[in-house]
Structures are given as structure tokens and as C-alpha cells.
A = this chain, B = another copy of it.
Amino acid sequence: MTKERVSIKKISELAGVSVATVSRVINRNGRYSPETEKRVLDLIEKFNYKPNLVAKGLRTSNTRAIGIIIPDITNEFFAQVVREIEIRFFRNGYSVIVCNTDEKQETEELYLQDLVSRGVVGMIFLSGKTIKSRKIPNLPTVFIDRSASDVSDAIVIESDNLQGGYLATKELIQHGCRRIALVRDKRNISTQTNRQAGYEKALTEAGIPLDQDLLIGIDVNYESARQALIDFLRKGGKLDGAFATTDWMALGTIDGIREMGYSIPEDVKVVGFDDISISRFSSIPFTTIHQNVDQMADKAVSTILDLIEGEPVTETHHLIPVHLIRRSSV
């Protein structure tokens, strides 16, 4: 039994949708109803239509692979971003190669080399090291969270970290805190300096002078924060609030303070940053700043796709709004 040979146009007519919609269904591009999808796929099956013919318009060398460079996928925030990016790319026919670098510059360079030799058509750096620009291949590239320091025209997508630091600190001030510690990643990276700028803005606005003794710059993990707060209190340091620039550091801050015999939130109030599950399910569910992962992923994927398709991309800096989530630590 031979089947009638049909065109994409015929399929679209029979399905009562546009050719573009049939193409989107074939390329799993998302913007169609489940009913449309079913109707189109049924017709494709019925007429044994070979959808790969549609692809002839694509550059044949297009690997449709995107490299994504991250410090560590077991960090829940990074996992969330990678998940949302991967799902969006897959809907558009792209796949995602994940690279865990542990923020080691040499490792990052090895991955970069490897991705280029694989012919990836786009690259996303999620909290990447600030690789020297000459090492970044000339490919559609987006930086999430942190820019390559010397790439002036880089496309950067980041949470409004300044606003986050401001909201966190203001929340503490509004609840009566006057001696507010800033517990931050000691490295000079934009996420951290911007969160600190927001902290300083809120203090200034409230007429509270900045106290250098309250700036605690440490390695960015639970244990360092816990130990830093114990040390701070042992040395006679005084505080009634703390803004920690990541949720893991917030939890370390809380545990360190409690180990020294103080109560949260009665003696010291604490706000974190990220809104990962630990902030909801820890010993004290704590107030934190929520980052909008969906919006970050939307922007990253649509920008890369625009760049691949040669669409004009004029905006190079996207600030994604954040908001405060109130829990029991303030």
C-alpha cells in the first residue's frame, strides 16, 4: 500500500493551522495547544510525512548543541537554572551539554576547548570564572550571574542583586535591627558587590553608619559562615541582625549564632538569598530573597536563539527582578 506523498502545506491545510504551526510542532517549539499537537502528529503519522525535510533550511553543520558551564550542578540554585534552560532548549530542538568546573579556571578552559571542538552553537556561562575574553570563542554567548570581566559587550543576565541586598537589609531595619552583619562571599564578584551595595543603600537610607567590623567576608559555604559567626561572637562582637548573601551561608550564620547561645529571631534576625529548599525546610525556615529562575532561563534561551538565528540583539544587560520571601527568622 503506497501512501500519498504530502507537503507540509498539505498537512497544515488538513490540520487547519498555519505552516509555521506545523513546523513548530515538528520542532517541539511549544507555542501550540495539545489539541493542535495531536492533530498535526496524527496527520504526520497518517501520511508518513518525513519531517526532517523541513530541516533543510537549517545550516547542515548545525549541531544544535549548547554548552553550559557551571561551578557545580549539586548547588540547587544552579540545578534550577540548568533545568529550566535545558527544558526550554529541548522544546526548540537543542540539547544541552553540562560542564561542572568547580570554578577552576583551568578546568573551565579545558571544557571550553572541548565544547568548541564539538561544534556547539551557543554557550552559557552560569557563574563562570572571569575567563579572559580572548579565550571565549566567537559564538552566541550569554553570561548568567557574572560577566567575563573584560568582555565589554557581553550579554549578561542577572538578578537585581542590588535590589535584593536592599530589600533584605530594609526588612531587618524595619524589624528594629541596627547592628546588621553582612555575611558575604569574600571574592570580588559582581553578585556579591551588588548585594553589598544594596545593604549599604538600605543602611544609608535609615541613617545607620556603615561599620567595617560588621562586614564578614568568607568562603561561600555553610561551614565557613557557621565558624565566622562563632568567632565573631567569641571575640565580643555584637549584632542584632545579619544579611547573608546566600542561603547556605544564612543557615551557617543561624547555626553559629545559636551555638553561641543566642536565639533566632529574638536576639538576632537573619535574611538569606536564593530561596532554595534549605531556606524553607531548615531548623528555622528563614526569610530570603527569591531569584526568578524562570525569567532568567527565558531570557537566556531566547537571547541565544535570537543570536543563532541572526536576529538583532540590542539589549546586553538584563536585570531580573527579585522579591522578599518572609519566614520565621525575622
Contact = CB atoms under 8 A, between A and B. Distances in A.
A258 interface: no
B98 A98 contact: yes
Contact of A90 (B65, B76, B80, B114): B114
Nearest to A117: B52
Nearest to A70: B83
Given A79-B79, A281-B282, A283-B283, A86 B114 contact: no
A73 B79 contact: yes
Contacts of A110: 28, 90
A87 B99 CA distance: 8
Contacts of A72: 83
Interface string A262-288: 000000000000000110011110000
Interface centre among A28, A65, A73, A82 (most CB of B within 10 A): A73
Give the number of times this chain occurs in the complex, counting copies: 2
Interface in A195-244: 222
Name the interface size band of chain A: 35 or more
Contacts of A100: 83, 86-87
Interface in A72-125: 72-74, 76, 79-80, 82-83, 86-87, 90, 93, 95-100, 110-111, 114-115, 118
Contacts of A304: none
A251 interface: yes
Contacts of A97: 65, 95-98
B74 A83 contact: yes
A117 to B, nearest CB: 8
Given A97-B96, A222-B281, A281-B278, A111 B90 contact: yes
Given A278-B277, A281-B283, A283-B281, A95 B114 contact: yes
Contacts of A111: 90
Interface in A27-82: 28, 63-65, 72-74, 76, 79-80, 82
A277 B251 CA distance: 12
Interface string A161-205: 000000000000000000000000000000000000000000000
Contacts of A222: 281
A281 B97 CA distance: 31
A90 to B, nearest CB: 7
Given A86-B99, A90-B110, A282-B283, 11 more contacts: A63-B118, A64-B118, A73-B73, A74-B76, A74-B83, A76-B79, A90-B111, A97-B97, A281-B283, A282-B282, A283-B284
Interface of A: 28, 63-65, 72-74, 76, 79-80, 82-83, 86-87, 90, 93, 95-100, 110-111, 114-115, 118, 222, 251, 277-278, 281-284
The 4 closest A-B pairs by CB, nearest first: A74-B79, A95-B97, A98-B98, A283-B283
14 contacts: A28-B110, A74-B80, A83-B100, A86-B98, A86-B100, A90-B110, A90-B111, A96-B98, A98-B98, A278-B278, A281-B282, A281-B283, A282-B283, A283-B283
